[in-house]
Structure 1
Amino acid sequence: MHLEKYTKEFKYNWQLAAPVMLGMLGHTFVSFVDNIMVGQLGTAELAAVSLGNSFLFIAMSLGIGFSTAITPLVAEADAANNFKEGKSAFKHGLFLCTVIGILLFLLVYFSKSLMYLMKQPEEVVHLAIPYLNLVAFSLIPLVIFQAFKQFSDGMSMTKYPMYATLFGNIVNVFLNYLLIFGKFGFPELGIVGAAYGTLVARLLMIWYLWFLLKSKEKSKAFVTKIKFFQLKQSMLKKLLDLGSPSAMQMFFEVAIFTAAIWLSGLLGKNPQAANQIALNLSSMTFMVATGLSVAAMIRVGNQKGLKAFYELRRIAFSLFLMGTLFATCFALFFLVFHNQLPKVYVDYDDVVNLLDNKEVVGIASNLLIVAAIFQISDSIQVLVLGALRGLQDVKIPTLITFVSYWLVGFPMSWFLGKEEAYGSFGIWLGLLAGLTTAAILLYIRFNYLTKRLILSNEK
């Protein structure tokens, strides 16, 4: 195998993926800072943010998953120099994302009472509900922002959403500091302060990204003079056909991680807080794979528009290789530092909660060993999914994700995660099984489709 034909693509892959990674890492970094700030208040508060966010992540997965339909349509139109089709994909996508954002807010707002039925620790639920009310409302600007972001990605303008996200993160961290702890005369709102910071930051991110895109010649005509309510049924149908399965793919994966939060809650507040720490750390490394996945979607979408199927396959494999190399480095990092990393999240000087904090760190360090092992399968499954979205193949991958996470992963988490079995460690063994199954089956699907495209093109 001539490695060079893959490695020569690394530079351009990186140019496309790095801004997406930094933007996504920005989101996760804010969550990291939130968790550290909230962790100073106590393990119950940390578990409450985890429980509140578990509802939010499910809704976000549907909104963000749906919005990814915009990127391959815009990428294909951009490669074919078809302004009309590109603007139509963006406008209809923006309309649908706005409607979906409002529906998701209502869904989360009215489902929060489920927390009482889920046998979660009572002090945790009591803290989580006021936090969730505000964060649920911030779903509306988040999903609208996603429409602009996916459009930018489709135009290969990946750095502008990164700038907007980094700007939002700075605002969020600053407001969190003021409102969680009540600094400079602001009220001390605890975890509700973190929710206010998130809401304001998400509103400002939309404005800033729109302002950046309006200032650029390439995108100005797309994001101005949008006739929002002049809609075509055919384009709405196209976006729904592509977006609904993508939303379900993301939902199936996020929901199993959310199930891990709830299963941890059945074990108590300390296992739930430990789960949150391991989840937060592994989601940071996952953002690197997600950035490469977006690059795969854009590049495969472009090659599909050009009908260059040999190139499409070579470029996709260069991205798979790159993702595996990154994942291997992260796996080694987690293995070497699995005892040290969780200590960042808790206050060892807090004598009152010292036993709780030690238990949380002990559980989290074990979970990081499993997280190290699943770095590679998690990276491969998200990269191949991105490439399949670029091919606009979404229905079979949706079925694959359902089977992997809910027929393989979840039953294992459920059986192995009981207190009398392996507890938290068992829950994460189920996650590992689901991700590995998904990686293998999705790769088989991509391999089959691209070979078929090459053969049919030669005839």
Structure 2
Amino acid sequence: MKQTPTMTWPQHLRAIMTLGIPLIGGHLAQFSIGLTDTIMLGRYSTGALAALTLASALMLLLFLMGCGFAWAVMPMVAQFDAQNDATSIRRATRMGLWLSVLYFIAVLPVLWFSGPLLLMLGQADQLAADAQTYLRIAAFGILPGLLVMVLKSYLAALSRTRIVLLMTLAASLANALGNYLLIFGSFGFPEMGITGAAIASVLSQAVSLVGIGLYAHFSLPAHSLFTRLWKPDWEMFARVFWLGLPIGLTTLAEVGLFEATSLMMGWLGTVPLAAHGIALQTSATAFMIHLGFANVATIRAGNALGRNDLDHLRRGAVAVFVLSLITSCVTVAVFLTVPGPIVSLFINPADPAYGAILATGMALLTVAALFQLVDGAQVIAMGLLRGMQDTRVPMIMAIIAYWGVGIPCSYLLGFVWGYGGTGIWSGLVVGLAVAAVLMLHRFWAHAWRA
């Protein structure tokens, strides 16, 4: 999206919303796949919900780390597009696809043999067994999922965000239908519980890959994206790898912060873990909006970098921060005023643990409201830094903030000082706040010094 250097504030806001709304919708639709699994399995049984929460923690951790290569494609394509360099666009996207395939091959054994790993991390025997059952099927959705993420980054960087939204919506609907048929055994299908949820997730990712791949091939023939896809391009492979690896490790550090809290909640029991899964899914829904704005920040910063337009970079950054702040304020208000109805959506009223899960989930949502502001600020700053292809120092900052500060605070507040689940979640607030301060300082120092 090529902008002039004299854009007014309303023009910046309008451009961000035009590009961002389909991206936000796409993230929400993608996220709804996991959300649908949580809601339907929560109504199937508390045990299935707890196992899904545990399995999703490990799978999401590995999947999002692999997305680092896809997210590296986004600022590179945005920069090359601003320079009208179609050859480099094709080269970067292809090598993003290569790296995604290689990454899937590397992590598949971890998911296949996840049961012993979860037992080593202190989880109950039945929870670990059920989680492994889910992961041995759902793991095969990682490959199409990663390839889809590369193609989404490629299309989004070229401002083709509506098709990203439409394809993701189709995958979400396919997953919801598959869940309904296979979890509960509707319309003559076998009742498969958590296994059915895994099968539905894989099928939905496959639907998304076929659709978005066909669109990329036929709508952008000048890029010849899949022609001689087998041919290596080691120079561009290295560029995508070294930009994407820090992004993946940063994501590993951030998601690992949340997934470590899932393990800690598992130490407290099935009910706290189930409530944690509900609160985490709800918070992550709001986070998808900030993530969409962060993608816009990455694309527009990449465009500005390609044109060496620093005024556009700075003014656009202020505009996207304002929109993220407004989103955070709305989310905080919702979490604080109606936590009960939100949590109850995920629980079967006939479940014997209904009251305990509801009370714990409401308490966790109250804490989740506190980190909306800092979580939004840090992901926007991170998106801008990625657009400037600055990923290595932010990676170090993230590791320090999440693991050097957040995890110890969660453990101290949750177990040493006895605040339980709310203490564990309060540690998240501290870690995210430190990350926000560090990332914001680095971006604005770069932007004004440049």
Q: Same fold (TM over 0.5)?
A: yes
Equivalent position of 2:325 in the other structure: 324
Equivalent position of 2:102 in the other structure: 99
Post-superposition shift, 1:418? 1.7
Pick one of 184, 187, 190 that aligns with 1:187.
190
Distance 1:78 1:359 in 2: 53
Asked if the contact 2:69/2:150 (under 8 Å) is kept, the reply is: no
Equivalent position of 1:457 in the other structure: none
Post-superposition shift, 1:138? 1.1
Closer, same or farther: CA 400–70 of 1 in aligned 2, 3 Å: same
Equivalent position of 2:237 in the other structure: 236
* Amino acid in structure 2 at the alignment position of 1:127: D
Q: How does 1:102-117 map to 2 (within 5 A)?
A: 102-117=105-120
- Give the match's secondary structure for 2:438: helix
* Amino acid in structure 1 at the alignment position of 2:402: Y
Q: How does 1:67-146 map to 2 (within 5 A)?
A: 67-146=70-149
* Amino acid in structure 1 at the alignment position of 2:18: Q
Asked if the contact 2:339/2:366 (under 8 Å) is kept, the reply is: yes
Post-superposition shift, 1:73? 0.8
Distance 1:249 1:34 in 2: 27
* Amino acid in structure 1 at the alignment position of 2:213: W
* Amino acid in structure 2 at the alignment position of 1:238: R
Q: How does 1:379-390 map to 2 (within 5 A)?
A: 379-390=376-387
Asked if the contact 2:261/2:425 (under 8 Å) is kept, the reply is: yes
Q: Does 1:285 align with 2:282?
A: no
* Cα shift readout 1:400-457 (whole Å, capped 9, x = no counterpart): 100110011000111111286110001100000011111111000001111121xxxx
Asked if the contact 1:213/1:223 (under 8 Å) is kept, the reply is: no
Aligned residues with identical type, % of pairs = 31
* Amino acid in structure 2 at the alignment position of 1:196: I
- Deviation larger for 13-22 or 267-276: 13-22
Equivalent position of 1:440 in the other structure: 437
Asked if the contact 1:101/1:144 (under 8 Å) is kept, the reply is: no
- Give the match's secondary structure for 2:415: coil
* Cα shift readout 1:74-116 (whole Å, capped 9, x = no counterpart): 1111111111111111111111112112222233223432111
Distance 2:442 2:226 in 1: 41
- Give the match's secondary structure for 1:171: helix
Q: Where does the alignment leave 5 or more consecutive residues of structure 2 unmatched?
A: 1-6
Asked if the contact 1:160/1:213 (under 8 Å) is kept, the reply is: no
Closer, same or farther: CA 163–420 of 1 in aligned 2, 3 Å: same
Q: Does 1:299 align with 2:300?
A: yes
* Cα shift readout 1:299-351 (whole Å, capped 9, x = no counterpart): 00001100011111111111011111111111111111122211111111x1x
- Give the match's secondary structure for 1:417: helix
Pick one of 345, 349, 354 that aligns with 1:357.
354
- Give the match's secondary structure for 2:160: coil
Equivalent position of 2:372 in the other structure: 375
Closer, same or farther: CA 7–327 of 1 in aligned 2, 3 Å: farther
Post-superposition shift, 1:397? 0.4
Equivalent position of 1:202 in the other structure: 205
How many aligned residue pairs are there? 444
Closer, same or farther: CA 89–337 of 1 in aligned 2, 3 Å: same
Distance 1:14 1:220 in 2: 28
Distance 2:242 2:271 in 1: 42
* Cα shift readout 1:209-236 (whole Å, capped 9, x = no counterpart): 01222332xx223254422232222211
Distance 2:342 2:304 in 1: 41
- Give the match's secondary structure for 2:345: helix
Post-superposition shift, 1:7? 4.3
Asked if the contact 1:39/1:346 (under 8 Å) is kept, the reply is: yes
Post-superposition shift, 1:373? 1.1
Equivalent position of 2:20 in the other structure: 17
Equivalent position of 1:259 in the other structure: 260
Closer, same or farther: CA 329–88 of 1 in aligned 2, 3 Å: same
Asked if the contact 1:178/1:184 (under 8 Å) is kept, the reply is: yes
Equivalent position of 2:62 in the other structure: 59
Q: Where does the alignment leave 5 or more consecutive residues of structure 1 unmatched?
A: 454-459
Q: CA RMSD in A?
A: 1.4
* Amino acid in structure 1 at the alignment position of 2:428: L
Distance 1:193 1:223 in 2: 38
- Deviation larger for 225-234 or 327-336: 225-234
Post-superposition shift, 1:161? 1.7
Asked if the contact 1:331/1:375 (under 8 Å) is kept, the reply is: yes
Equivalent position of 1:412 in the other structure: 409
Distance 1:101 1:302 in 2: 30
* Cα shift readout 1:142-191 (whole Å, capped 9, x = no counterpart): 11111111111121212222111110011110011000011111111001
- Give the match's secondary structure for 2:187: coil
Q: Does 1:399 align with 2:405?
A: no
* Amino acid in structure 2 at the alignment position of 1:198: S
Post-superposition shift, 1:32? 1.9
Asked if the contact 1:66/1:246 (under 8 Å) is kept, the reply is: yes
* Amino acid in structure 2 at the alignment position of 1:258: E
Q: Which runs of 4+ in 1 moved over 4 A?
A: none
